Amino acid sequence: MPPWGARAGRHHGHRVIEMDKIKVGILGASGYTGAELVRLLSCHPNVEIAALAGDRSAGQTLETVLPHLRMVDVPMLVKIDEVDYSGIDAVFCGLPHATTQEVVLKIPPHVKVFDISADFRLDNLDTYAEWYGGAHKAVDLQKEAVYGLTEFYREQIKSSRIIACPGCYPTTSLLPLVPLLQEGAIDSNRIIIDAKSGVSGAGRAEKQANLFSEVSEGVHAYGVGRHRHMPEIEQELSKAAGRDVTISFTPHLIPMNRGILATIYATLADGWTPQRLHGLLSGRFFNEPFISVLPFGDVPATRHVRGSNFAMIGVAQDRPTGHVILVSVTDNLVKGASGQAIQNFNLVFGLPEQTGLEQKPLFP
Vertex 69: Cα angle to 65 and 71 (nearest 5): 130
Contact 199, 215 (CB under 8 A): yes
217-246 positions binding a second copy, by CB under 8 A? 217-222, 224-226, 230, 246
Q: Is 256 in the site for a second copy (CB under 8 A)?
A: yes
Contacts with a second copy in 25-64 (CB under 8 A)? Answer: 32, 35, 38-39, 42-43
> Residue 241's closest CA among 266, 217, 223?
266
21 binds a second copy (CB under 8 A): no
Do 41 and 17 meet the contact criterion of CB atoms below 8 Å apart?
no
Among 85, 131, 265, 296, binds a second copy (CB under 8 A): 265
- Indicate the pairing of strand 260-267 with strand 323-330: antiparallel
Examine residue 212 and tell whether it contacts a second copy (CB under 8 A).
yes
11 binds a second copy (CB under 8 A): no
Q: Quick one: 153 or 310, whose CB is closer to a second copy? A: 310
Least Cα distance to 249 among 235, 231, 267 occurs for 231
Q: What would you report as the CA-atom Rg of the chain, rounded to the nearest whole angstrom? A: 20
Binding mask 70-109 for a second copy (x = CB under 8 A): xxx-------------------------------------
Whether 93 is catalytic is no
Instruction: Note whether 361 binds a second copy by CB under 8 A.
Output: yes
Provide φ and ψ at 82, rounded to 5°.
Answer: -95, 5
Site for a second copy in 273-332 (CB under 8 A): 282, 285-289, 291-293, 297, 299-307, 310, 312, 314, 316-320, 323, 325, 327
Catalytic choice (43, 93, 165, 168)? 168
How far apart are alpha carbons 162 and 200 in whole angstroms? Answer: 25
State the catalytic residues.
168
